[in-house]
Structure 1
Amino acid sequence: MINLKLDRKEFFAVIEELVRSSQSAQYVWREIVYKSIFNMNAEDLDYLWYYLRRDIHPCYFYDHDGTTEPQPGHDDFAHALAAMHRGNRYTVMCQGPKQAKPHKYLCYRYNGEYRPLLNVGVTCKRFQPFDAVIPEEWIKVVGHRSVPENINVPDDKKAWWTELPE
């Protein structure tokens, strides 16, 4: 394993270069960005979210004659943005059919599903995989956390931050 220490501007520059020059850019979202969420403080996460939305979004969603055309890899990019968005946080209590007691997860919503980031009901918090989903029938209680302000988002782009992904 290689450990690098990058500030948020350096991290964004690395991501941007990988996305713009790599045929396997989707691995950037699964293996680098997603796995880095809990290594960033709130300010760094908000900075990265905004600049990815502003500068990288057009690489995956082209505007063509008034319609948006998704490009290859758009789903992993949108998924990573949803996971990074601090206002897209839910506390979900769920219980599977073989579980003796409910478990509590810190989740985000993407494609209409609750996706766990962390299992918070255990002594050792465990980061969850990129493709993990909590089945609807297991969900007992959902609590939504408030949408914090992102100081990086200018007034004319506030809808990007406040209109949460489904």
Structure 2
Amino acid sequence: MKQSYFILQADNFSEFQIAFGKVFWMYDDMITSYGGFGHNIDFEHIEYERFLFADTDAEMDIYQKQLEVVKQGSLVALGCEVVNLLDEEHRDDRVYNFITVALSHPTIEDLPFEKEVLLAMKKALDEALDVAWETLPYGSRLDDMLKEVYKRFVLQYFRDMLGEGKLS
């Protein structure tokens, strides 16, 4: 399964802006609905398959910080999908295969936390179907990892924004 990832260029900037807005919307839903990961977070419109390993061309490198938010949001969206699958005692080959492909991406070794999260997702999906998936060994590990993802990516995004705000 060959994966094609997004490359930010001048001609697809509006698509990138839309993806950024979708991540923000998902983050808002996570904060207001659960204070973290939960069932049916509004993530479905985020194309994590395209944006997880997104990059920029040289001309658009000034948007690296925003691109990082979209990449992190893609991992969060994937986590939301995995949580829904586990909650519903369901599996999806498309999701599982994407995680497998992502774990073999050439830059994953440069992203140890993200790699650990992806491995936790895969192992939790390998466990038996159980509505109490958080009590299973790998499900419990994934639950802990997702709490850290929430802190590092979702909450940190808003902390960073507040820290960058200028007082008048």
Q: Same fold (TM over 0.5)?
A: no
TM score, norm. by length of structure 1: 0.31
Which is richer in strand?
1
TM score, norm. by length of structure 2: 0.31
Structure with greater contact order relative to length (CA < 8 Å, sep ≥ 6): 2
Which is richer in helix?
2
